[in-house]
Every structure is written in structure tokens, then in C-alpha cells.
Amino acid sequence: MTQKNNRVGRKDRYALRRRRLLGVAGGGLAASIVGCTSNGDDDASGDDIDESEDTEDSQDEDGTEEGNGEDSSDEDTTEEGNGEDSQDEDGTEEGNGEDSEEDSEEENDEEDVEPASFEIVEVNHPEEVEVGETHTFSFTVENTGGEDGTFEELLEISVGGTDEWESLGQVQLDIPAGETATWESNSTDFDNPAVVQFRLGETEWSYEVTITAPDTQSFSGSGEEVRRDISIEGGLTVVQASHSGESNFQVSLVNDSEFDDNFINVIGDFDGAEADLIEGGEYILDVNADGSWEIDIRQPRSGQGDSLPVSFSGSGPDVVGPVQFSGTGVATGEHD
């Protein structure tokens, strides 16, 4: 009786255990087990159950142990889960470590960033300009550093090749890191010929301001004569003339003003030159002579002058030069 109850108990435990397995394993295992239990007679199945129950009981017990093992496995799994949690925690710490490394790298990057640094990479200017010619010049600055910054430098000028520098003002350019900016001067011109030098920090450049003399206007004739449309740009004007005759030889430039510009007034032969400063405009050449004559009208410009010392010789009135002076000059000469 006790054995039967034990069997019944074992059967109940087996059924419970089976339900437990069904619940864990899922529908596929349930179909397989249901198919097995539907075959055979009750007695046969009972005997089978009796024999199998002992085995299955043993299996139950083993299964229980296995179940316990599964539980243990579950626990182990849970522990492994805890381990994963631990790994997660470790992972979190590693993540924090990565964040710290990234922050550290960013800080190092910030520490490694070079400050703004500037370099003048290009200067554009004319090689030569005329007196009074309007022109500009420019330069380009590059920020070679790792930060945005402002380029600041004093722009200076020296005229005539001297060591005397005059300030033209402070240049300021806001330049992002790794980029360039260009500064251009206002339109400018110079009144006199000279070598013009510019200095920006350690960078220097120069160009020449020149003046081109107008073309020489040449005339020839005999006796009294008037020539029109004589163009004078203004400033120093030289009349170079020769005359072969016995009477007066007079050469004048006449315009709409009240007074004429008389250059030559001699008697007889003449070979020489006279100079005067006159205003620009259109003139008439008025020649009074009794013989043949030749006249050249020149407008020399100081940009073509020779540097001291210079020597000249001749006969009669003459105009020589131009000559470049710097400071005090002394002239000596002889005349017969």
C-alpha cells in the first residue's frame, strides 16, 4: 500500500515534472510527449509506467537533480547574468574610462592647438609708376596657427632710398586658423619721381616712381614765322635754337595770357638754349629772324637726372641737366 502510494506520488511528481518540462521546453516537446503517451493498453501502459516509473523515478530523481542542476544552471546563469552585470559594471567603468580617455584626448588636443601665427605670403605692387599715376598695392597674410586671430602690424614708407621711415598707420586683419586675408591700399599717386620703399614688420618691397619727358618738338624755317598748336605739359621748358643772320633773333611762346614767354632775344648768329618755367597749355611759337633757324622745344623731367658729381662744358648760353641733388651742392666753373 505504501509502495502504491509511493507510485502514485511518483506519478504525480512525474506529471508535475512533465508539466514543468512542457512549460520550459515549449510546444514541440509537448507534442512529442503527447504522442508517446497515447499508445498501448492501460495495463500495458501501467506496467510500462511501473517499470518506467522506477526508471523515470530515478530519472525524476536524477531529473530532479538535473532539474536542480537546471536550477543550478539557472542560478549559474543568474550568476553569469550577475557576471554580465558585473561585466556591465566593468563595461560601464570601461566606458567611463573611454570617456575619460576621450576627454583627456580632447584636453590634450586643446593643449596641443598652436596659437594664431601669421606669415605674409604675397605682396602685389607695380614695378614702376608714372608721377601722378593712380595705383594700388596689396599683400596677403596667412594664419598658420591653430586658432583664429588678428594680424596687427605697422605699415611704413620711405621715399628716395633713405633710412627715414614714416608711419602710414596700423594694419589689422581678422584671419581664421589656416586661412588667408588680403589688404589693399587706397588709390594713391606721387608728385615727384623717386624710389618708394614700404615696410610691414620684417617684409619690405619697393618700386620706382618715374616721370617720362614729353617728346621733343622740332621746327625749322627762315625769317619771321609763326607755328601753331605747340603743346606744353607745364613746368620746366627748354628752347634749343640756332640762327644764321645779322639782325634780331627772337623766339617766344605765346598763349592767351597777357605776357609772352620770351626765351631768346639776340642779334646775329646764335647757337644755344634758354629755359623757363611755364604753365601747361596750347601755345604759338613766334620766331623773329632774318636768316635760317632751327628750334627744338624740350620739356626735361627731373626723374632722368644724373647723380653728382657731374661736369659740363660749352659755348654761349646753354641748359644742362637735369641733375639729382641730395642736400647741399656746390658748383664751380670757368668762363672766357
pLDDT at residue 96 above 70?
A: no
Which CATH fold would you assign to the domain 118-210?
Answer: Immunoglobulin-like (2.60.40)
Provide the pLDDT confidence category of residue 258 given band limits of 50, 70 and 90. Answer: confident
Instruction: Give pTM, 2 decimals.
Output: 0.51
264 grid coordinates: 631768346
State the pLDDT at residue 108.
59
Query: What are the CA-CA distances from residue 140 to residues 167, 173, 188, 324 (Å)?
Result: 20, 10, 19, 36
118-210 and 217-302: identical CATH topology = no
CA–CA distance, 243 with 255 (Å, rounded to integer): 24
State the pLDDT at residue 192.
83
pLDDT, mean of residues 308-320: 91
Share of the chain above pLDDT 70, in %: 66
State the pLDDT at residue 182.
97
Q: Of the candidates 236, 234, 224, which has an alpha carbon nearest to the alpha carbon of residue 282?
A: 234
In this structure, are residues 209 and 192 in contact, taking their beta carbons and an 8 Å threshold? Answer: yes
Max distance between CA atoms of the chain, in angstroms, equals: 181
Question: Which of 233 and 62 is assigned the larger pLDDT?
Answer: 233
CATH number of this structure's domain 217-302, picked from the four choices 1.10.3720.10, 2.60.120.380, 3.10.129.10, 3.30.200.20: 2.60.120.380
Taking only the tens place, the pLDDT of each residue in 265-288 is: 999 999 999 999 999 999 999 999
Question: Which of 129 and 57 is assigned the larger pLDDT?
Answer: 129
Share of the chain above pLDDT 90, in %: 50
Query: What are the CA-CA distances from residue 273 to residues 72, 84, 172, 244 (Å)?
Result: 130, 113, 55, 15
pLDDT at residue 152 above 90?
A: yes
Per domain, the residue ranges of the chain are 2-110, 118-210, 217-302
Question: Which of 10 and 109 is assigned the larger pLDDT?
Answer: 109
CA–CA distance, 272 with 243 (Å, rounded to integer): 9
Taking only the tens place, the pLDDT of each residue in 5-54 is: 444 444 444 444 444 333 333 333 333 333 333 344 444 344 443 444 44
pLDDT, mean of residues 173-181: 96
Query: What are the CA-CA distances from residue 26 to residues 77, 306, 308 (Å)?
Result: 19, 115, 118
pLDDT at residue 219 above 80?
A: yes
pLDDT, mean of residues 250-279: 92
Taking only the tens place, the pLDDT of each residue in 78-93 is: 444 444 444 444 444 4
State the pLDDT at residue 67.
45
Q: Say what angle helices 27-37 and 2-25 make with each other, to 10 degrees.
A: 140
Q: Of the candidates 113, 8, 95, which has an alpha carbon nearest to the alpha carbon of residue 53?
A: 8
271 grid coordinates: 647757337
